[in-house]
Structure 1
Amino acid sequence: MFVNRVKELQLLNDEYKEESFRFSVLYGRRRVGKTTLLKEYIQNKESIYFLVTLESENIVLKRFQDIIANYLNDDFLKELKIDSFEQIFKYISQKTFEKKLIIIIDEFQYLTKINSSIPSIFQYIIDELLKQKNIHLILCGSIISMMYEQTLSYNSPLYGRRTSAIKLEAIKFEYIKEFFSKKSEIELIELYSILYGVPKYLEMFKDTKDIYKSIEKNILDKNSFLYDEPRFILQNEVNEPITYFTILETIARGEHKLGNIAGRLNKNVQNITSFISKLMELDIIYKDVPITEINPQKSKKGLYFIKDNFFRFWFSYCLPYKSQLEMDNTKFVLTKIQESFTNHISKTYEDICIEYTLKNEELLKCGRWWNKNEEIDMVGVGEDFLIVGECKYTNKKVGIDILNSLKEKSKQIELKLPIKKFMLFSKSGYTDELIKISLEDRSIKLVENIL
């Protein structure tokens, strides 16, 4: 199912329209929808798609040769003895293509596992064989660190040769409804808090009616597709998965200060900074600072959170209870999930409310705010004003007490800008008293729907 990806598809189509050789790099985590995007792009276009697998180089070369020969309807090429990618691309370069030919090499990073010289080989292919051809070469991969190192980093032989690069991210919450047109907003928030915006995961829950049964079937069952997914992703990206696992489990349990995380690992802060940096590079965690900080990069108030909701769910409920899951005791783990699921969703709900506010208000930035004594779920900073908000994912209607509390906490914000608006978000609606006050005071906004 193709959902959103409007900007990415437009970028690829703009490359296609150029009357010259184009070279694109497309990368992103597994299951995020790279191949689906490429399939949409090549519709009604001349294209060759090749998926690299971890086999011996001669087998990979032969498969690529056969695909090219079939596309060209060239029996001579099919029988030709080929022993390098240079030979295949030299053969291609001797052809003329009136319409731009798209050549996609998917899971490109596996080629360098097979042959470490591949980046240099493709440098030669691009510089000497393809640069005058009407071809759009796309190298695509799912191991983020390897793709960056091999194609985009300064040390790569391919550095500076790309004409475009796309790091494909998870789909934003506002587009999740396109997967589940019949589900309520609350159901969509629940699904997003578990599956993030990863299309493959979302499709697996498409027909779900009972979210807990779907969790049991698709995540907790040791034979299920998602049972060990984070482990598989990390083991492909990092060399010491145990340390990364421990860091992520510690954050999932509620430790967000760098010093406390290091303490849980019995390490000095200096000994885990490289691991933290790597997890941030992979978009699995992020550093959050109060939105009003003047210099966020140097702020000492930074807290670390798991960005990927599926990783956060898995490290909260799957890894800690692996022993029970291995013994097929999924009911025990389901009970643990049900006991704290609302708290798990609350963090996601705040993220969604911040996204909503950024989209619908004229702000420079928006995020969380805190000091030693108080915290506010959402503060938006405009050119000469502030917007402050609270997000309540509970079964209780939000009343005037929440509004009054927000007003009091807002007095501690160090940016001395006037507060233009007080925004309240609620899963369960608002009391009649608060609704009446909001109708009389335009500075109070009660958000009914965030989609």
Structure 2
Amino acid sequence: MRFINREEELQILEQEYKKDTSSFVVIYGRRRTGKTTLIEKFIENKEAVYFLATLQNEKLQIESFKNVVSEVLNDDLLKSLTVENWETIFKYIATKVQKKLIIVIDEFQYLAQVNSSIPSIFQSIWDNLLKNKNLMLILCGSLIGLMYKTTLGYTSPLYGRRTAQIKLKPMNFKNFKKFFKSLDNLKLLEFYSVIGGIPRYIEIFDETLDVFENIRRNVLHKNSYLYEEPKFILKEEIKDPITYFSILQVISQGEHKIGKIASKLGMQTQNLTSFIEKLIELDILERKVPITEENPEKSKKGLYFIKDNFFNFWFKYVFPYQNYLETGKYDYVLDKIKSDFHVFESFTFEEIVLEYIYDLDIPFHIYKAGKWWDKDTEIDVVAVGEDSILFGECKYWDSLVGVNVLHQLKEKAKKVDWKKDKRKEYYAVFSKIGFTKELIDLAKKDKSILLFNFQEF
């Protein structure tokens, strides 16, 4: 896998490595985000033990770990020894360490599944054997819920031991672009709308093909890599996926209020809450409120969205049509996708604008940015500063955007009460391909009107 971005994460690891004392780092995040690639890059040219845990018998894993350690330390004596537990190996390591040694246990959550006492065992190992030694321990895992429970949560025996933690997230659009050599922003947006910023998925999509042929080959075909990917990921994290799958399908179809989601599923709202909370914990769902809300946690205007682009695409276009796909009716499903894909990618466009808003030439310092809505009005972009506010409209049209869009935006802005009598207002229009001459001329005269063309991002 090509190594792109992750400079901040590498810097954290290097800082931990350069400490005179020991360090204990937890790396976690959903599958395919490049955690192992990050670790491989970091341990290049360093003395390091890398061990990939599995769900096999614990005794076999102890033996395998012992052999890996003996190879790195070039220690035939250790290799010949019979070792019955983890403590014995780490005690041996502790006596041998002179220069800095990195110990990586990848997919650590599998050890905890094989033996529920593993967090307590590693607590004892850290406290009694490693804490004062010249080494760096890295525990890495992909099952977010289980990694939190075993290493980060308050109830974990390892709680409070870590010296740093890294939650590896999908790439944003800026870094997504770096994976491709020759694509323009419009084609990149098509790809990003489907696969998001997951490095493994990015590698699968072929930039010489259009988005729909990529979807056919890599998502819709029943033997393709991505065909059942969300099923695999969710089934590892949750025991009873049926309700979770139904929630995600309803949200992908456009229902975002918890009451309406519950109604679609024939459930009471209070019975849905625990499922929603679990999906948020797993970083699959997110709750959003209008950006001007003073107390977001208590706001009654919260809406729920699927965070991951591919999950959103899959639950909207693949999951509901698997009966067709299983019988090879790929063209039927692809036609469904083509019929409203432009609308689907327009929502991704709005999210990219919110990502870029902090880097654009806005005439005030932005404190926070997001969307705003009430019962009957929605504003795509609202950015607030100390006493200034920007209202933005995103139009992913194949035609030039004109002054009518600006006028409509100004009308909608009147409904936002934030510092209404003492604020400085700006208006931004974000377009797929450009603006009419009339709107361009108006923006030249009025400095409160800002125009941004996506192809220039």
Q: Could you say whether these structures have the same fold, taking a TM-score greater than 0.5 normalized by the shorter chain as the test?
A: yes
Residue of 374, 380, 393 corresponding to 2:383:
380
Q: Contact 2:379–2:391 (CA<8 Å) still a contact in 1?
A: yes
Q: Contact 1:29–1:144 (CA<8 Å) still a contact in 2?
A: yes
Provide the rounded CA distance (Å) in 2 between the counterparts of 1:130 and 1:306. Answer: 41
Residue 53 (structure 1) aligned with residue 76 (structure 2): no
Task: Name the residue aligned to 2:40.
Answer: 39
Task: Name the residue aligned to 1:83.
Answer: 84
* Identity between Structure 1 and Structure 2 (%): 52
Q: Contact 2:255–2:261 (CA<8 Å) still a contact in 1?
A: yes
What amino acid is aligned across from residue 123 of structure 2 in structure 1?
Q
Task: Name the residue aligned to 2:437.
Answer: 432
Local SS of the residue matching 1:272: helix
Local SS of the residue matching 1:102: strand
CA-CA distance at 1:206 after TM superposition = 4.1
Per-residue CA deviation, residues 283-312 of structure 1 (Å, 9 max, x unaligned), is 111111111111111111111111111000
Residue 136 (structure 1) aligned with residue 133 (structure 2): no
Local SS of the residue matching 1:94: helix
Q: Contact 2:47–2:72 (CA<8 Å) still a contact in 1?
A: no
What amino acid is aligned across from residue 62 of structure 1 in structure 2?
E
- Runs (4+) off by over 3 Å: none
Task: Name the residue aligned to 1:366.
Answer: 369
Provide the rounded CA distance (Å) in 2 between the counterparts of 1:67 and 1:303. Answer: 49
CA-CA distance at 1:420 after TM superposition = 3.4
Provide the rounded CA distance (Å) in 1 between the counterparts of 2:265 and 2:143. Answer: 27
Local SS of the residue matching 2:357: helix
Task: Name the residue aligned to 1:104.
Answer: 104
Q: Contact 2:24–2:136 (CA<8 Å) still a contact in 1?
A: yes
Q: Contact 2:183–2:207 (CA<8 Å) still a contact in 1?
A: no
Q: Contact 2:97–2:135 (CA<8 Å) still a contact in 1?
A: no
What amino acid is aligned across from residue 259 of structure 2 in structure 1?
G
Task: Name the residue aligned to 2:269.
Answer: 269
Provide the rounded CA distance (Å) in 2 between the counterparts of 1:43 and 1:169. Answer: 22
What does 1:296-311 align with in structure 2 at a 5 Å threshold?
Answer: 296-311=296-311
What does 1:7-406 align with in structure 2 at a 5 Å threshold?
Answer: 7-98=8-99, 100-360=100-360, 361=362, 362-406=365-409
Q: Contact 1:208–1:214 (CA<8 Å) still a contact in 2?
A: no
Per-residue CA deviation, residues 10-49 of structure 1 (Å, 9 max, x unaligned), is 1000001101110000000000010111111111211111
Per-residue CA deviation, residues 140-159 of structure 1 (Å, 9 max, x unaligned), is 00000000000011110100
The count of aligned residue pairs is 450
Q: Contact 2:433–2:453 (CA<8 Å) still a contact in 1?
A: no
What amino acid is aligned across from residue 440 of structure 2 in structure 1?
I
User: What do you get for the CA RMSD once the two structures are aligned?
Assistant: 1.1
Provide the rounded CA distance (Å) in 2 between the counterparts of 1:282 and 1:244. Answer: 12
Provide the rounded CA distance (Å) in 1 between the counterparts of 2:98 and 2:396. Answer: 57
Provide the rounded CA distance (Å) in 1 between the counterparts of 2:426 and 2:216. Answer: 42
Provide the rounded CA distance (Å) in 2 between the counterparts of 1:146 and 1:270. Answer: 25
Q: Gaps (5+ residues) in structure 1?
A: none
Q: Contact 1:180–1:206 (CA<8 Å) still a contact in 2?
A: no
Provide the rounded CA distance (Å) in 2 between the counterparts of 1:139 and 1:444. Answer: 50
Provide the rounded CA distance (Å) in 2 between the counterparts of 1:356 and 1:149. Answer: 34
Local SS of the residue matching 1:245: helix
Residue 441 (structure 1) aligned with residue 446 (structure 2): yes
Q: Contact 1:388–1:419 (CA<8 Å) still a contact in 2?
A: no
